[in-house]
Every structure is written in C-alpha cells, then in structure tokens.
C-alpha cells in the first residue's frame, strides 16, 4: 500500500474528509426515511374525509430483519441527521473507490504496454 502522500489528490482529499467526519463522532445509521400517510379509522377524524395522518419512519435492518421504526416528531431532526451522516460517509467512500479504480486501470494499462510492444516486433 503506497503512503498517503503518493495517492492521487482526489483520493487524499476524500480520505481526509472521511477521517474528519468519523473523528467528529457524529451518529449515523444505514437507513432510509419513509413518509407514510395513514387513516386511523375513527369516524369523526379528518382522515375519514381523505386528509390522512402523515408520519415519518426509519426503514432499517436490525440484525437480519428489516424494520420500520416510527420517528416521533421531536426526534425527526435526529433521524434525518443519522441518515444524512451515513450518506456523506458513503459518498466519500465512493469517491475513494473511484480514485482507486482509476489508479488500477492506469497501472494495468502501463503494465500491458511492454507486452503489446513485444508482440508487434518482427521476429528475426
């Protein structure tokens, strides 16, 4: 593994931002936010006329099971930040992955050049 100083600038920047994000120890959760609109079933309720009750849920995997976790209104900001933080981490990992793959493709092309040039030489 090359030293960080030998990595492409794009990769170094993404790694640095990822380390800063993780060092900040912000909570994160691999989940999705889902807005659901439901009827409660009470005859006199507004939802009986079509104006449904809207609520927020976190769709997440707990162990091997997918769960829909109700998010109370006072925890909506926390739920949103959990999802946003993990999305930032994923984006930075994707950037690092792309930079690594680009480096691999370049090294592969360089290592194949001598083979191609040898194949083109006329035999004596």
The residues pairing with 71 across neighbouring beta strands, listed in sequence order, are 56
Q: What is the pTM of this model?
A: 0.66
**In the sheet that 31-38 helps form, which strands lie side by side, from edge to edge?**
31-38, 53-62, 65-71
Question: H-type helices in 24-75, by residue range?
Answer: none
pLDDT at 6 over 80: no
Q: For the segment 37-90, what is each residue's pLDDT rounded down to a tens digit?
A: 988 888 888 888 888 989 999 999 989 999 999 999 999 999 999 999 899 888
The tens digit of pLDDT for each residue in 65-74 reads 999 999 999 9
Residue 20's SS3 state is helix
Longest dimension (CA), the chain: 97
């Amino acid at each position: 593994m090359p030293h960080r100083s030998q990595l492409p600038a794009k990769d170094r920047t993404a790694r640095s931002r990822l380390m800063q994000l993780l060092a900040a120890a912000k909570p994160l959760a691999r989940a999705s936010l889902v807005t659901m609109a439901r009827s409660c079933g009470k005859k006199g309720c507004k939802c009986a006329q079509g104006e449904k009750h809207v609520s927020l849920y976190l769709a997440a995997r707990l162990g091997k099971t997918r769960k829909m976790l109700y998010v109370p209104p006072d925890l909506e900001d926390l739920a949103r930040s959990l999802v946003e933080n993990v999305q930032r981490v994923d984006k930075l990992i994707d950037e690092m992955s792309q930079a690594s793959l680009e480096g691999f493709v370049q090294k592969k092309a360089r290592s194949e050049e001598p083979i191609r040039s040898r194949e083109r030489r006329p035999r004596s």
